[in-house]
Structure 1
Amino acid sequence: MSLILLIEQVLNGLQFGVTLFLMAAGLTLVFGVMGLINLAHGSLFMVGAFAAAAVAGATGSFVLALGAALAAAAAAGALVEVLVIRRLYARDHLDQVLATFALILIFSEGTRWVFGSFPLYLNIPAALSGPISLPGGIEYSTYRLFLIGVGIAVAIGLGLLITRSRLGIQIRAGESDREMIAALGIDISRLYTIVFALGAALAGLAGALVGAIQSVQVGMGEPVLILAFVVIVIGGIGSIKGALVGAVLVGLTDTLGKLLLPGMFALFMPASSAATVGSALASMAIYILMAAVLIWRPTGLFGVRA
């Protein structure tokens, strides 16, 4: 295996990781601040992808498509929070799981009714298509490099929002003691709606960005949602830094596992058996990583111990 191939796969893992971060950041905000298990977060990822594909098809503008994804997902998130989620805060987690699972079905059937059952496609803009030359003679996808840049920019922006802004102070205070900040005159219902809409917007942005490298179809958010939960468990619930570190670890583990494990088993097994065993173990690698982190640190890498 060449060094160039290894570097390319590391970049692929980083791209996968920062895309997961966009999903996991919103999920960890909602879970950390509101204590809400939101299984419908993947549906907001799907809403963003479909909104982007529809606007790009109508206007031909990728920038407008991203704006539409952010707006549609944020609006859907705010509407869901006001109409449904607000009634679940005082309920136990089982009620939250059942209600948000019902939202998955509603979003899926509603999207199928509006857009049909056939997948949509979101084209990569001409400025970001094709490869770009990196040092060392590496030719890498311009769009995937763009995704890495967007993910890093969003991580920095969220970090500044949480640590330097008034809203961030309220979010951190709400995570620590929601009754106290309500007693201090903060409109907790408005704060929750803003946090939920922000998390939804991040999921919608992730959906739009991923929609350009895969088909946009009903149910596309559920597999990503599972990985996003793995990320926040590894990183620590409520931690943006943990979501970023956990997402990068998951992305690199998944990508490099699929590259390296079949070759490692081929050293002492027949090639066909090595490919089968290596692929199976690679698909389990992120869950093995999660189990190892939980054994070492049950609250996650950056979770706060009670």
Structure 2
Amino acid sequence: MTIANFLIQLLNSVQYGLLLFMLAAGLTLIFGIMGVVNLAHGSFYMLGAYLAWSLSSLFGNLAVAIVVGAGLAVVFGLLLERLLFRHFYTRDHLDQVLLTFGLIYIFEEARSLIWGDDVHGVPVPALLAGSVPLTDNLSYPVYRLFISAICIALAIGLYLLISKTRLGMKIRAGAFNRDMTEALGINIRRIYAIVFALGVALATVAGMIAAPISSVYPNMGSQVLIMAFVVVVIGGIGSVRGAMIAALLVGLVDTFGKVLLPQVAGMLVYMLMAAVLLWKPEGLFKQ
């Protein structure tokens, strides 16, 4: 492998890892803070991809589509939390699994009725359609660098929100001790609603920015959901920092595994998860 090829694969692994972080961050927040096992989280990624396709066709601009889609995702998350998830916070995890597993089928059927079952493509914006030359005959797409930049910006924003703001302090308090937080006069239901809507928005935006490079097709959230759960387990449930590090590790192992060890590439990520759990059963970082 040449230096240029290595650099391309490294950039691919970082971009993939950052996209996984967008999914895993929302999943680990919902599970770690609210205690809800959300198997339907991958459906929000699929929703984002279909919104990118339909809204970019409507507005003729992917950036506008992403902004509008993110707003719709927040509203959808707030409604979903109020109508369904709010009633399952104190229920057994099995009830939560059954609810969210059922939601997967509901979202898939709704997707089929609204958008159909065809495979769609979202064009890369003309401004980002070029490539950055690495050597005389190798280059790297600008849009993939754009995805990485967006993910990094959102990761920094999420860190600042949770670590440096009053809302973040309330979120951390609610995760640590719900009863004491409520006794101090904090509306824990409102905090949970905000966290859930934030998780939905992160997954939806991830699907929207990934649509131009991955196409838009039915049931596309299932595979990324599995990888997102792997990231959450490796990083530690409830830890955003752990999700970031684990996502980058999974991206590196998966990308370079497909290049260097294609025969066993499908096993490598799960071998990584097993090794981490043998070393630290709670994951790399605690909440």
TM-score normalised per structure 2: 0.97
Gaps of 5+ in 1: 262-277
Residue 38 of structure 1 aligns to a residue whose secondary structure is coil
Instruction: Give yes or no for contact 1:44–1:77 (8 Å, CA) kept in 2.
Output: no
Q: Displacement, 1:91?
A: 0.9
- Once the two structures are superposed, the pairs formed by residues 208-219 of structure 1 within 5 Å of their partners are 208-219=208-219
Native 8 Å contact 2:24 2:243 kept in 1: yes
Task: Tell me, yes or no, if the aligned pair for 1:51 and 1:68 is still in contact at 8 Å.
Answer: no
- How far the C-alpha of 1:48 sits from its partner, in A, is 1.4
Q: Percent identity?
A: 51
Residue 173 of structure 2 corresponds to 173
What residue in structure 1 maps to residue 21 of structure 2? Answer: 21
State how far apart, in whole Å, the 2-side matches of 1:203 and 1:3 are: 33
1:257 is aligned to 2:257: yes
- Supply the distance in 1 between the matched residues of 2:48 and 2:72 (Cα, whole angstroms): 6
Question: Which amino acid in the other structure matches residue 219 of structure 1?
Answer: N
Deviations 1:17-48 (A, max 9, x none): 00000000000110111011001111111111
Query: 1:230 Cα deviation (Å)?
Result: 0.2
CA contact (8 A) 2:4 2:134 kept: no
Aligned to 2:118, the other structure's residue is in SS state coil
Structure 2 partner of 1:289? 272
C-alpha displacement of 1:90: 0.9
Shift in Å at residue 106 of structure 1?
0.7
- The aligned runs of 1:92-171 (5 Å cut-off) are 92-134=92-134, 139-171=139-171
Worse overlay, 128-137 or 177-186: 128-137
* Partners of 1:199 and 1:46 in 2: CA distance: 14
Return 293-302 or 135-144, whichever deviates more. Answer: 135-144
The alignment partner of 1:140 has SS state of strand
Distance of 1:216 and 1:114 partners within structure 2: 14
**Are residue 91 (structure 1) and residue 91 (structure 2) matched?**
yes
Equivalence map 1:37-116=2 (5 Å) = 37-116=37-116
Work out whether 1:6 is the aligned partner of 2:6: yes
CA distance in 2, matches of 1:198, 1:77: 8
Shift of 1:137: 8.4
Which whole-Å CA distance do the structure 2 matches of 1:136 and 1:151 have between them?
Answer: 29
Q: Which residue of 2 aligns with 1:275?
A: none
Unaligned runs of 5+ in 2: none
Q: What one-letter code is carried by the residue in structure 2 that aligns with 1:288?
A: M
**d(CA) in 2 for partners of 1:155, 1:236:** 17
**Structure 1 length as normaliser, TM-score?**
0.91
> What is the RMSD computed on CA atoms of the aligned residues?
1.4
SS in 2 for 1:212: helix
Corresponding position of 1:188: 188
Shift of 1:138: 5.6
Contact kept, 8 Å, 1:72 with 1:204, in 2: the verdict is no
Partners of 1:87 and 1:299 in 2: how far apart?
28
CA contact (8 A) 1:45 1:73 kept: no
Residues in 2 aligned to 1:212 and 1:242: alpha-carbon distance in whole angstroms: 28
Instruction: Say which SS state the counterpart of residue 214 (structure 2) adopts.
Output: coil
- 1:217 CA drift (Å): 2.0
AA partner of residue 144 (structure 1): R
Alpha-carbon deviation of 1:84? 0.9
Change (3 A) 1:252 1:188: same
Separation (CA, whole Å) in 2 of partners of 1:72 and 1:255 = 32
Shift, 1:135, TM fit: 8.4
Q: Name the amino acid aligned to 1:120.
A: H
Structure 1 residue 134 displacement after superposition: 4.8
Q: Distance in 2 between matches of 1:167 and 1:218?
A: 36
Q: Does structure 2 conserve the Cα–Cα contact (< 8 Å) formed by 1:48 and 1:72? A: no
SS in 2 for 1:213: helix
Aligned counterparts of 2:64 and 2:120: Cα–Cα separation in 1: 17
Bigger Cα Rg: 1
Matches for 1:238-253 after TM superposition, within 5 Å: 238-253=238-253
8 Å contact kept, 1:44–1:76 = no
CA gap 1:5/1:167 in 2 versus in 1, 3 angstroms: same
